[in-house]
Amino acid sequence: MQDYVRRILTSSVYEVAQETPLEPMKLLSGRLGVDVLLKREDLQPVFSFKIRGAHNRIAQLTTAERARGVICASAGNHAQGVALSAARLGVRAVVVMPTTTPAIKVGAVRRLGGEVVLHGEGFDAARGHAVELAEQHGYVMVHPFDDPDVIAGQGTIGMELLRQHPGPIGAIYVPVGGGGLAAGIAAFVKFLRPDIKVIGVEPEEAASMKAAIAAGHPVPLDQVGLFADGVAVRQVGTETFRLCSELLDDIVTVSADEICAAIKDIFDDTRAIAEPAGALALAGLRRQVERGEVPEGALIAINSGANVNFDRLRYVAERAEIGERAEMLLAVTIPEQPGSYRAFIQLLGNRSISEFNYRYAPGASARIFVGIKLTQGEAEKQHIITMLEQHGHAVIDMTDNEVAKLHVRYMVGGRVADLGDELVYRFQFPERPGALLRFLEGLHDGWNISLFHYRNHGADYGRVLVGIQVPPAESGQFIAHLEAIGFPFWDETDNPAYRQFLDAETV
């Protein structure tokens, strides 16, 4: 560790990087009952900590090596660090990136002057191609994590943390991909403050360091999930494994839903949007706090980056509340008869409904897909399930069902044979607790609901699509009834989307 501490103290990172703030997360701290601090590496010039290690490595090159140019393989953040550092030092930089790399990262590397080569579907394929190009053209390889100078550059974060928070620190949570960041921070912190726990955090679908420690040496994973692409590494480095296996106090793995919840936590406290890998450490911190497994003192999480494609946020928003156990998803069986929906919603009382999907099917029972907001976590979820079962409803908990969350919730529907007199209307009402119940109470029990779709999108207004069987002779009465409810509505019976996919009469 002495050698790494010397390298860290004499590193060249501040020629391009900056000392980032250590910010208190007041909202999350209040909710968890512990002092949570966030190291804002997302504020670096390339929106990631990777600039530290990349520049420290390139700055050590000899004049002859700089003339040859550098090459690296990266899913994006290391690539931007290499491109920026090389541009500052007047060195040619070739960057091999997986074809699955988010477009925002590819574009950023090109704008910084890097020559991008897209190859392979993951980091390992890109790295193999980078090695081939280095051998063919004589480029100097700048490894993203398994290099002492890179590790030392990342370790400057540990140096800053101890200076910025001289008081008691219980644990530092660090995202782990290849292990360079965790190795560097642990080397410095454990040398000066061995009482502080340094805990690595990995995605469940890319836990390469956990697998290496279990095996006693680096091992390749059979497959790696790409949601947290910044840490999607199939096999950790030899040197990073040596350091992490000796210095890390624990490895925590978290789900994609927990990462999404942590992204939301960071936004709520800072109004900044972290990439999945950037929120990974905070997700691990939350998991340990919720399990009562944290030491006394401040808890620090590293926000390692903010390079996320904007369209990825749709998925994040969809899954964040499930990840923080603030939403439950249920499949519930209710009687297939008028008035059943209203009775079901009445059972739920003033709880906020986040989703309600149904399509008529012949038979005595109706199956609905419902999302319910939670304020008291798992205990409240179990209470709701028990209450529904006591009222005679069959209930299946879908909260952790990946097929339900990714696909089935959007596929509840289809055409129904012999479904006559169906009208389809779209409604809009203020999004507040009880609004959905008020809407259902306004519908007449004599008209059967044959289709229902509602999803809370976080907007001021809730939007519902409803199919109702209304005999033609009662159409005037039906419209008068809708007007009396007082919510804006639109007739969508002739909408081509309905005609093509939901109307039983369409050939």
Catalytic (active-site) positions: 50, 304
CB 40 within 8 A of CB 23: yes
CA angle 47, 287, 170 (to 5 degrees): 80
Rounded Cα distance, 462 and 355, in Å: 10
- Encode burial over 431-454: b for 16+ CB neighbours within 10 A, e otherwise: beeebbbebbebbeeebbbbbbbb
**In the structure encoding, which two tokens stand for residue 359, read together?**
């399509």
Phi, psi of 487 (to 5 degrees): -100, 145
Rounded Cα distance, 123 and 72, in Å: 11
Rounded Cα distance, 260 and 265, in Å: 9
Pairing of the two strands 365-373 and 461-469: unpaired
Residue 389: CB atoms within 10 Å: 12
Phi, psi of 26 (to 5 degrees): -65, -45
Rounded Cα distance, 143 and 492, in Å: 57
CB 200 within 8 A of CB 174: yes
Tell me, letter by letter, the H, E, C secondary structure of 354-373: EEEEEECCCCCEEEEEEEEE
Rounded Cα distance, 496 and 503, in Å: 10
Q: How far is CA 416 from CA 445, 465, 501, 505, in A?
A: 21, 17, 10, 9
